[in-house]
Amino acid sequence: MTLVFALAASALFGIGAYLVLNRDLLRVVLGIVIISQAATLTLIAAALTRGVAPIYPLRGALVSDPLSQAMALTAIVIGLALTALLLVLVLRVVRAYRAKGLDDVAEEEAEREARRERRTAREHEDEEAAAR
Amino acid sequence: MSALVVALVVPWAAGAVLCLLDGRRRWVGWLAVAALVVNLVALVALATSVLQDGTVSETTGDWPRGVGITLRADALGALFACFSSFAVLAAMVHEVLDGVRERVFPGLVVLLATGLTGLFVTGDLFNFYVFFELAMTAAYVLATYGGGRRELSAALVFTAVNLIGTFIFLLSVAGVYHVTGSLDMATIAERMTFVDPAVAVMIAIGFFAAFSVKLGLFPFHFWLPTVYTGARPAVAAILSGGLANIGAYGLLRFGGELLPRELEFASAGLIALGAASVLYGGVLAVSRRSASEMLAYSAIGQVGYVLMAIGVGGPVGFAAAILYTAVNAVNKTLLFLTAHMRGGIVAAAFLVGALSVVGIPPAAGFIGKLELFRSMADDPLLLALVFLGGALSFVYALQVYQFDFWRSQRAGRRSRWGQQAVIGVLALVVLAGGVWPEPLLSLSQDAAAALGGAGP
């Protein structure tokens, strides 16, 4: 049983990692969501015991571990909030750059950087000339 | 109510309320400053009581011990909480004096302080994760502060990279729970000695990767320069002076207390990574002309020293790492805040900060470097590395000082007197730490002893 969980979690992590390395911003978000699911699945699998619900255990009856379920629940909630935050960020970036791919964003950044670099170099040259 | 509860609950409640108010109003900003002051005062009170009577702990909701979530403040956590909170407070006052530009800024900074405080005083592994997320989520939003395109793309990179670090951390938490069956840090530390070494190493690698991303260590550093140069000065100061401490604290707590065997096993690797960070950060910082870029790369170099000291280990190494982190946090806050200001006091304060980064006597950085030298005294190669890093930092710090304050006057309006007073106070703190280092030294030794005398 644990092996099945481990295989499922590692497959999810692999798919997520592949998507994160993608150039499309939405796919990056999707990849992060899938990685978060891999972590949640691992949390559940970390304390996998079979038994009745632990709300009012009968004496001698086997109960399942409530702690790992509580942790998984918290992780899901946090993951959901972060997904929402990430989507808003992507939306704002897309609006600011009018572009969807990381490529376009990176290109624009590089251009601005190059312009800035040229400007500072020119300023420093001017200063040096003035100092002489 | 104990100081522990006050330090956590006041900023928590205040942060929730402040998020609903319009942060651009001046009084809302000052309300946030007041909440942070209460937080800092409570933390200082907590630290003094911890240093006198030993660890303070509290179990939530009167549950029996072992069932309820424990808050536990020892010397290490209290010390880290104090100086992180101080750095956040200084940056907040600086920004409020300048005029806050976005509604949610004060609320988010207070929530970030809550997350930091909770993280340093929790004794429960999963609770650590939750507070960690609270602080990080606030930081993701803060990175967009200013709303320009540059800030947005920097924030996106920051969020994506750190989220992956977070989930790797969560995977390691699941691993720890699986092999020890507990989330209480003290219990984990006891049971970890019986765990299969191969499994423990896997878990340790996960924690290491997660905290190195936060710290901006050499192979995990790629997000750091974009974010630190893209963000506004106050945000950069909060991130590097407050938030980056999570990385150092996590490595000390998880490496020194929970997984000491694995730390010892990996010490050569840690020292090598630390040395790579020092050299990489130093060389790239020398090649930069603008103050904020130089500071971003210098931050990578500075954490390299911390990692080297942790790698050396033992009471002396841990004490050096703690002291250096504390000094570095105040330094970085001071330097990032001065990065876009001008005026006579600014120049003097920048010089004090630069001298402290280099490690020249009247500044506190000297004490940090001295402790580093002391911890590495057995190994001439490491000493040479620390010396080389120091020489590089001398070149870049004074180069930027020269470009910014001697050769050309910085563009822009003259900074307000209030802001100059804030950085003046920070510079005085740095100087005081260097002139009267005894309290800092004994504090860091106590904090290292709190790790349970781990190591040789």
B159: nearest CB among A47, A89, A127: A89
Please report the sign of the dihedral spanned by the C-alpha atoms of residue B172, residue B173, residue B177, residue B180. Answer: positive
Residue-level pLDDT at A111: 77
| Inter-residue contact B270 to B214 (CB < 8 Å) | no
| Residue pairs between chains A and B whose CB atoms are closer than 8 Å | 89
Task: State how far the alpha carbon of B413 is from the alpha carbons of B34, B320, B343, B427, in Å.
Answer: 28, 40, 10, 22
* B183: chain A residues, CB-CB within 8 Å: 67
**Among B156, B170, B408, beta carbon nearest to A89:** B156
- For residue B386, the model assigns a pLDDT of 85
Nearest-Cα distance to chain A for B439, in Å, is 40
* Residue of A36, A81, A93 with shortest CB distance to B152: A93
Buried b (16+ CB within 10 A) or exposed e, B395-415: ebbebbbebbbeeeebeeeeb
pTM listed for this prediction: 0.88
Which among B132, B133, B210 has a CA at the least distance from the CA of B165? B210
CA distance A130 to chain B (A): 10
A72 to chain B, any CB pair closer than 8 A? The answer is no
ipTM above 0.85, yes or no: no
| Chain B residues with beta carbon closer than 8 angstroms to that of A97 | 149, 153
Chain A residue closest to B150 (CA)?
Answer: A109
* Chain B neighbors of A39, CB-CB under 8 A: 167, 170-171, 174
The answer to whether residues B116 and B10 touch, using CB atoms and an 8 Å cutoff, is: no
What is the rounded distance in angstroms from the CA atom of residue A83 to the CA atom of residue A63? 33
Segment A104-116, tens digit of pLDDT: 666 776 777 778 7
Q: Is B410 at the interface with chain A, CB within 8 A?
A: no
Percent over 70 (pLDDT), chain A: 86
User: Amino acid identity of B234?
Assistant: A
Contact state of B130 with A74 under an 8 Å Cβ cutoff: yes
Smallest CA–CA distance, residue B404 to chain A, in Å, is 11
Question: Are the CB atoms for B302 and B428 separated by under 8 Å?
Answer: no
Residues of A in contact with B102 (CB under 8 A): none
Whether B4 and B50 have beta carbons less than 8 Å apart is answered as no
CB proximity B127 to A under 8 Å: no
Burial label for B185, CB within 10 Å (0-12, 13-18, 19+), is: buried
| B160 reaches A (C-beta below 8 A) | yes
Among the partner-chain residues B133, B159, B289, the one whose CB lies closest to the CB of A78 is B133
Residues of A with Cβ-Cβ distance to B108 under 8 angstroms: none
Tens digit of each residue's pLDDT (9 = 90 or more) over A48-75: 777 777 777 667 777 778 888 888 999 9
| Torsion B308-B310-B311-B317 (CA) sign | positive
- To which residue do tokens 């920097």 refer? B154
Q: By C-alpha distance, which of B115, B96, B120, B102 is closest to B47?
A: B120
Q: Is A131 on the interface with B (CB under 8 A)?
A: yes
Q: Where are the alpha helices (DSSP H) in B122-266?
A: 125-143, 149-180, 185-191, 197-215, 224-230, 233-238, 245-250, 260-265
Q: Compute, in degrees rounded to 10, the torsion defined by CA atoms B433, B375, B370, B400.
A: -90
CB contact under 8 A, A39 and B170: yes
What residues have CB less than 8 Å from B296, skipping those under 6 apart?
Answer: B224, B225, B228, B229
| CB contact B41 to A (< 8 Å) | no
Per-residue pLDDT of chain B (456 residues; tens, 9 = 90+): 588 888 888 999 999 999 898 888 888 989 999 999 999 999 999 988 888 887 888 887 778 777 778 888 888 888 999 999 999 999 999 888 888 888 889 999 999 999 999 999 988 888 999 999 999 999 999 988 877 777 888 888 889 888 988 999 999 999 899 888 888 888 888 888 888 888 888 899 999 988 888 887 877 787 888 888 878 888 889 998 888 889 899 988 888 888 888 888 888 888 899 899 999 988 888 888 778 888 888 888 888 888 888 888 888 888 888 998 998 899 889 888 887 777 778 888 888 888 888 888 888 888 888 888 888 888 888 888 888 888 888 888 888 887 777 766 555 556 778 888 888 888 888 888 888 888 888 888 888 887 764 433
